[in-house]
């Protein structure tokens, strides 16, 4: 399936390019004869209207995107910067213009808005190589797209872009177009225009940057995700070097300037105020992915080869960057499920439990960290998300709740081993054997209990039992459950028995764990985790995107699993973490050498996952799932469920012989 999706995307992109070559190079005659005359005419008229109605203020104004919480209260807003960041052509250092022309549009001062030869080269390359490897858009076309159009790839949008570019060249001078362009292009991390980028990355005005720093910034707009200096510094530097080479070959800089700029070390200086709250970064990510889906992008988590995965990553980065730009400047209203009261309580619970760990790294960030996610069980939406401890420090925040992937330890067993085994005929009362296994794992306490009920094995987190059941089930079958719930970092080496105990190559995120356990309490129905419920564009139209819902486990298996997870809190590894006056179920997880601690559990109302550990994994002697993570979970869940009526979890029946019988007899 993954290969066919990839081929469809490639064919779509090539088809767009072929249509353009017919339109631009062979004229519009084919479309008139083919019945597209009226459509082309309308596009041209609309393009003329856009440009005729524009003035210099058109290129200074932005549309602010607003984010609101579950109560309809504004959480944050985002746009392409303050108007005070706008620079006139006279204020723009000439080196910026030289750098951007050398890499984006060498014939800028010669064409009328469209470089037909560049488009031809792009089409020929696409046809020869079977994929799009070159761009054909001029600086004027890019300006047209950024200011007047959406980021979709339909041929109509591309044709309109060309018409607008031609009209812009008729109305404005080259210097004005260059001014508009350099003040509107996107430099990643919510930075628009050269002044915002200069301040955002170097904490200085554009006029004070060196040649090397200018070339470095001009590397970013070509693909803001790929050349984001905060995540892909090497790639940004490589493109900086290419720009400097082009500038030298174009005669814009001397050989000595070229060599000195190449040798200059780039040191970022991020202003202190350029950082986002944890919920805002997660909301932005969810909203971007919703726009990607609305644009037809198909998400994948498994691949048949490394080459296929690499190609997907490239396409993902390109689409993400386009939709990120669209979100920030599109004037959307993003309605979220974030509950501000729960958000504060969850953050406070993490901070309070870890407050005694005051050691910081060289960047001034607390070394011991935590992450937590709370999902509303009635909707499946994320109510609160914490990506680390609260603190004031310079730089951008890492949201560990969805951006960090760690070993889950035994917390993964219910999703990977136990619930799938319950589907195969096991019950909480099935007798299993806790025994020493040759070349197998040891139990945490080093003891073996012999024949015990499965309920007891789960409560005491018996590694030997999980190992045997996973061996019987088969790693491929067990991991399939995780893939179906979009666990995004299942690697080839994870198809082994050690995965039964959480021994993954890369790991899982707190968001993934929360959504997995929320699937259990939701009778096996998985709902893709997100906090974005609705997006409305600037014209009041609802953006159409679907939230994935999939039946993963059988209902009865989930209810049996919940019953056993209740026992974990009553008499097992989570004893002492049970909530007062509220039904609850959960599981601890501790990795080798106590490097990662997890607790994931739920009540009828909320599911919450908690991780505690170091960003660079190292041992913490007293770290266990039941210690810091468990206490964070308990403290928060007590408050989250306060005042709610206690409800018993749905009861399970004896394992039946068919799905039909289970459906008929379950409550």
**Does the structure show a pLDDT above 70 at 357?**
yes
What 3-state DSSP class applies to 517?
Answer: helix
- Report the distance separating Cα 316 and Cα 659, nearest Å: 38
Q: How confident is the model at residue 274 (pLDDT cuts 50, 70, 90)?
A: very low
pLDDT averaged over every residue in the chain: 88
At residue 660, the pLDDT reads 38
Token pair in block for residue 156: 């109509």
At residue 608, the pLDDT reads 98
At residue 5, the pLDDT reads 52
pLDDT digit string (tens) for 580-623?
999 999 999 999 999 999 999 999 999 999 999 999 999 999 99
Q: Judge contact between 127 and 134, C-beta under 8 A.
A: no
At residue 202, the pLDDT reads 93
At residue 600, the pLDDT reads 98
**Does the structure show a pLDDT above 90 at 174?**
yes
Q: Which residue has the higher pLDDT, 272 or 588?
A: 588
SS3 string, 237-303, reads HHHHHHHHHHHHHCCCCCHHHHHHHHHCCCCCCCCCCCCCCHHHHHHHHHHHHHHHHHCCCCCCCCC
Q: How confident is the model at residue 495 (pLDDT cuts 50, 70, 90)?
A: very high
- φ, ψ for residue 590 (rounded to 5)? -135, 130
At residue 391, the pLDDT reads 87
Q: Which of 54, 97, 102, 104 is catalytic?
A: 104
Q: How confident is the model at residue 544 (pLDDT cuts 50, 70, 90)?
A: very high
At residue 189, the pLDDT reads 85
pLDDT digit string (tens) for 286-344?
999 999 999 999 999 999 999 999 999 999 999 999 899 889 888 899 999 999 999 99
- Report the distance separating Cα 315 and Cα 132, nearest Å: 11
Closest CA to 503 of 565, 411, 574, 414: 411
Q: How confident is the model at residue 169 (pLDDT cuts 50, 70, 90)?
A: very high
pLDDT digit string (tens) for 85-113?
789 999 999 999 999 999 999 999 999 88
- Report the distance separating Cα 519 and Cα 513, nearest Å: 10
What 3-state DSSP class applies to 463?
Answer: helix
Whether residue 410 lies in the annotated active site:
yes
Q: How confident is the model at residue 3 (pLDDT cuts 50, 70, 90)?
A: very low
Q: How confident is the model at residue 131 (pLDDT cuts 50, 70, 90)?
A: very low
Q: How confident is the model at residue 154 (pLDDT cuts 50, 70, 90)?
A: low
Q: What is the DSSP letter of 108?
A: T
**Does the structure show a pLDDT above 90 at 507?**
yes
pLDDT (average), residues 202-214: 95
pLDDT digit string (tens) for 399-413?
999 999 999 999 999
Cβ atoms < 10 Å from Cβ of 495: 13
pLDDT digit string (tens) for 559-569?
999 999 999 99
**Does the structure show a pLDDT above 50 at 237?**
yes
Q: How confident is the model at residue 2 (pLDDT cuts 50, 70, 90)?
A: very low
pTM, two decimal places: 0.75
At residue 57, the pLDDT reads 82
pLDDT (average), residues 36-41: 70
- Report the distance separating Cα 532 and Cα 384, nearest Å: 12
At residue 37, the pLDDT reads 66
Whether residue 104 lies in the annotated active site:
yes
Closest CA to 465 of 525, 394, 412, 417: 417
Distance from the first to the final alpha carbon of the chain? 37
- Which contacts qualify for 544-552: CB closer than 8 Å, 24 or more apart? 544/294, 545/290, 545/291, 545/293, 545/294, 546/293, 548/486, 549/525, 550/484, 550/485, 550/525, 550/526, 551/524, 551/525, 551/526, 552/481, 552/484, 552/485, 552/519, 552/524, 552/525, 552/526
Token pair in block for residue 431: 């007798």
Torsion 73-76-77-82 (CA) sign = positive
Q: Which residue has the higher pLDDT, 513 or 158?
A: 513
- Report the distance separating Cα 665 and Cα 73, nearest Å: 44
Q: Which of 137, 337, 410, 515 is catalytic?
A: 410
H or E segment to which residue 567 belongs: helix 555-571
Spatial neighbors of 246 by CB under 8 A, at least 6 apart, are 102, 103
Q: Judge contact between 374 and 345, C-beta under 8 A.
A: no
SS3 string, 290-356, reads HHHHHCCCCCCCCCCCHHHHHHHHHHHHHHHHHHHHHHHHECCEEEECCCHHHHHHHHHHHHHHCCC
At residue 149, the pLDDT reads 78
């Amino acid at each position: 399936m993954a290969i066919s999706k990839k081929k469809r995307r490639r064919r779509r992109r090539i088809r767009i390019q072929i249509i353009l070559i017919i339109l631009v190079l062979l004229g519009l005659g084919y479309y008139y004869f083919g019945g597209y005359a009226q459509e082309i005419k309308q596009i041209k008229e609309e393009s003329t209207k856009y440009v005729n109605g524009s003035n210099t203020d058109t290129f200074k104004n932005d549309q602010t995107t607003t984010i609101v919480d579950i109560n309809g209260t504004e959480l944050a807003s985002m746009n392409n910067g303050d108007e005070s960041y706008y620079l006139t052509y006279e204020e723009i250092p000439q080196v910026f213009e030289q750098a951007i022309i050398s890499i984006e549009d060498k014939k800028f001062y010669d064409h009328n808005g469209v470089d037909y030869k560049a488009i031809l080269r792009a089409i020929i390359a696409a046809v020869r190589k079977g994929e799009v490897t070159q761009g054909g858009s001029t600086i004027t076309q890019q300006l047209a797209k950024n200011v007047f159009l959406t980021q979709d790839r339909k041929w109509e949008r591309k044709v309109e872009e060309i018409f607008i570019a031609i009209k812009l060249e008729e109305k404005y001078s080259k210097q004005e177009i260059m001014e508009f362009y350099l003040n509107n292009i996107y430099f990643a991390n919510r930075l628009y225009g050269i002044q915002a980028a200069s301040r955002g990355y170097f904490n200085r005005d554009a006029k004070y940057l060196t040649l090397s720093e200018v070339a470095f910034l001009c590397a970013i707009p070509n693909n803001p995700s790929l050349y984001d200096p905060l995540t892909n510094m090497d790639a940004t530097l490589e493109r900086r070097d290419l720009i400097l080479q082009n500038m030298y070959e174009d005669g814009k800089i001397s050989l000595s300037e070229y060599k000195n700029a190449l040798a200059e070390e780039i040191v970022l200086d991020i202003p202190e105020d350029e950082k986002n709250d944890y919920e805002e970064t997660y909301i932005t990510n969810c909203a971007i992915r919703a726009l990607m889906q609305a644009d037809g992008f198909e998400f994948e988590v498994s691949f048949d080869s490394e080459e296929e995965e690499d190609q997907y990553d490239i396409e993902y980065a390109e689409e993400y960057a386009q939709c990120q730009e669209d979100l920030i400047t599109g004037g959307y209203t993003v309605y979220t499920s974030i509950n501000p009261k729960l958000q504060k309580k969850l953050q406070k619970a993490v901070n309070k439990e870890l407050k005694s760990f005051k050691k910081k790294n060289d960047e001034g960030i607390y070394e011991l960290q935590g992450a937590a996610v709370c999902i509303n069980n009635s909707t499946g939406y994320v109510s609160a998300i914490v990506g680390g401890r609260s603190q004031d420090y310079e730089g951008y925040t890492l949201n560990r709740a969805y951006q960090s992937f760690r070993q889950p330890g035994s917390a993964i067993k219910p999703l990977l081993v136990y619930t799938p085994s319950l589907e195969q005929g096991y019950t909480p009362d099935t007798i299993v054997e806790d025994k020493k296994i040759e070349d197998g794992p040891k139990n945490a306490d080093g003891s073996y209990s012999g024949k015990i009920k499965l309920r007891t094995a789960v409560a005491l987190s018996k590694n030997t039992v999980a190992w045997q059941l996973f061996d019987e089930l088969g790693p491929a079958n067990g991991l399939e459950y995780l893939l179906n719930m979009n666990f995004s970092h299942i690697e080839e080496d994870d198809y082994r028995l050690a995965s039964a105990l959480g021994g993954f190559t890369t790991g899982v995120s707190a968001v993934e764990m929360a959504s997995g356990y929320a699937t259990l309490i939701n009778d096996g129905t998985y709902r893709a985790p997100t906090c974005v419920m609705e997006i409305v564009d600037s014209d009041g139209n609802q953006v159409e995107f679907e939230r994935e819902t999939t039946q993963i486990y059988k209902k009865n298996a989930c209810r049996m699993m919940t019953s056993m997870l209740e026992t974990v809190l009553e008499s097992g590894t989570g004893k002492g973490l049970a909530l007062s006056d509220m039904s609850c179920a959960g599981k601890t997880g501790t990795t080798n050498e106590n490097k990662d601690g997890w607790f994931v559990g739920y009540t009828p109302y909320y599911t919450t996952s908690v991780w505690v550990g170091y960003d660079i994994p190292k041992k913490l002697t007293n770290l266990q799932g039941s210690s810091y993570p468990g206490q964070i979970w308990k403290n928060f869940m007590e408050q989250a469920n306060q005042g709610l009526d206690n409800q018993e979890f749905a009861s399970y029946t004896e394992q039946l012989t068919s799905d039909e019988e289970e459906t008929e007899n379950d409550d």
